[in-house]
Amino acid sequence: MSTETSSGTGPDRTEEMTIREAIRLALREELDRDDDVFVMGEDVGAFGGVYEVTGDLVEQFGEERVRDTPISEAGFMGAAVGAAATGTRPVVEIMFSDFIGVCSEQIINQMAKNRYMFGGKTEMPVTVRTTEGGGSGAASQHSGTIHTWFAHFPGVMAVAPATPASAKGLLKSAIRSDDPVIVFENKQIYEQKGEVPLDDDFTIPIGTASVEREGEDVTVVATQRMVGESLELAEELAGQTSVEVVDLRSLYPMDTETLVESVKKTGRLVIADESPLSYGTHAEVATRVMENAFYSLDAPIQRVGVADVHIPFSPALEEEVLPHGSDVEAAINRIV
């Protein structure tokens, strides 16, 4: 590890790296730490993953534990469930979250239900990593943001990192968890950089949000790419409007307390997430805030997301539908 780019010493040492590198570091550490952990997915081995996330892991851990699969999501997702029930800790990569449809049976009827249906007599330590998000011109079947489906579905935990540190910390918690966790990685921010703790045991508890910037006038609860764009916006607006930015991080379970505390302070809420708006992640955040901080709200809650369309191909159309910091700014301007 290069000391030039590291800062701090001992357990508090950090290093600047991209989200992609932080995920790979988490995988490397967990593969190293626990022989029961293995990685499985399409082209995760020698090819290094279609977004180069698994990278060179196969060289260190071999083809058995960094396992290339056929293009067979139902087969290997189901195999992950069977493997987890019998004593291993699979980390499955579903290349694009849009492909989850073909293996949703194994997720919703097996992975999510077995523990409950069996009266708690089995554990299900499966981690699923998958990519989300538009912005690549990849059109509707490779650009979706679907995390609401699984944040909604009982029996699955869902997290969505926005920073390199949370990418590492959340993934490590997911792999160490005895419950099924889906990690939704926005593919547009893999190159985003930030300081990441190098401690092998650095984890971020699932179910915790993070106040990334404190403010007084309005709370922006954001996820994934929208966290970074909201932080940039908050910086631009500083001196004019004081914006508090909360990274939701964990979609389910959700850290209601942190959201509510923030809104009790600011009295205003904008929710920014790339999901389609109807029945979306926004709705759940809004409901929890209204249930718990209704009398603190000074203005209607605002939602920033995708207007219930698929992600189109043409750059002109794609740019139109994707939410950006400018949309968060417009939302703030409507209520502040």
Q: Which residues are catalytic?
A: 73, 142
127 part of the interface to other proteins, by CB under 8 A: no
Name which position in 6, 43, 51, 75 contacts other proteins (CB under 8 A): 75
283 part of the interface to other proteins, by CB under 8 A: no
Q: Is residue 97 within 8 Å of 69, Cβ to Cβ? A: no
Name which position in 32, 178, 232, 320 contacts other proteins (CB under 8 A): 178
C-alpha to C-alpha distances, 198 to 58, 195, 206, 207, 312, nearest whole angstrom: 21, 9, 19, 22, 39
CA 120 to chain centre: 27
H or E stretch including 290?
A: helix 281-293
Alpha helices by DSSP H, listed for 153-297, are: 164-176, 224-237, 256-266, 281-293
Name which position in 133, 163, 252, 323 contacts other proteins (CB under 8 A): 252
Q: Is residue 246 within 8 Å of 212, Cβ to Cβ? A: yes
Name which position in 213, 214, 253, 335 contacts other proteins (CB under 8 A): 253
84 part of the interface to other proteins, by CB under 8 A: yes
> Cβ closer to other proteins: 77 or 269?
77
177 part of the interface to other proteins, by CB under 8 A: yes
Count of residues of this chain found to bind other proteins when the rule CB under 8 A is applied: 49
What does the alpha-carbon distance between residue 222 and residue 7 come to, in Å, rounded to a whole number?
28
Could you tell me how many residues make up the chain? 336
> Cβ closer to other proteins: 42 or 329?
42
What does the alpha-carbon distance between residue 288 and residue 301 come to, in Å, rounded to a whole number?
12
Angle between helices 256-266 and 281-293 (to 10 degrees): 60
279 part of the interface to other proteins, by CB under 8 A: no
Q: Least separation, in Å, of the C-beta of 180 and other proteins?
A: 9
72 part of the interface to other proteins, by CB under 8 A: yes
> Cβ closer to other proteins: 31 or 328?
31
Question: Which residue bears the tokens 């071999």?
Answer: 62
Name which position in 17, 30, 38, 223 contacts other proteins (CB under 8 A): 38
HSE, CB side, 13 Å, CA atoms: give it for residue 28: 17
287 part of the interface to other proteins, by CB under 8 A: no
Q: In this structure, what are the phi and psi dihedrals at residue 307, rounded to the nearest 5 degrees?
A: -80, 55
Checking DSSP bridges between strand 157-159 and strand 250-252, what pairing results, if any?
A: antiparallel
69 part of the interface to other proteins, by CB under 8 A: yes
> Cβ closer to other proteins: 50 or 79?
79
- Of 167, 179, 178, the C-alpha closest to 204 is 167
Q: Is residue 36 within 8 Å of 178, Cβ to Cβ? A: no
Omega of the bond leading into 164 within 30 degrees of 0 (cis): no
Which residue stretch of 25-33, 73-81, 219-227, 327-335 sits at the interface with other proteins (rule: CB under 8 A)?
73-81
33 part of the interface to other proteins, by CB under 8 A: no
What does the alpha-carbon distance between residue 330 and residue 322 come to, in Å, rounded to a whole number?
14
155 part of the interface to other proteins, by CB under 8 A: yes
147 part of the interface to other proteins, by CB under 8 A: no
> Cβ closer to other proteins: 120 or 239?
120
Name which position in 2, 3, 10, 87 contacts other proteins (CB under 8 A): 87
Which residue stretch of 42-50, 107-115, 208-216, 306-314 sits at the interface with other proteins (rule: CB under 8 A)?
107-115
294 part of the interface to other proteins, by CB under 8 A: no
| Residues forming the site for other proteins (CB under 8 A) | 36, 38, 64-65, 69-70, 72, 74-88, 90, 105-106, 109-110, 114-123, 154-155, 157, 177-179, 206-207, 252-254, 256
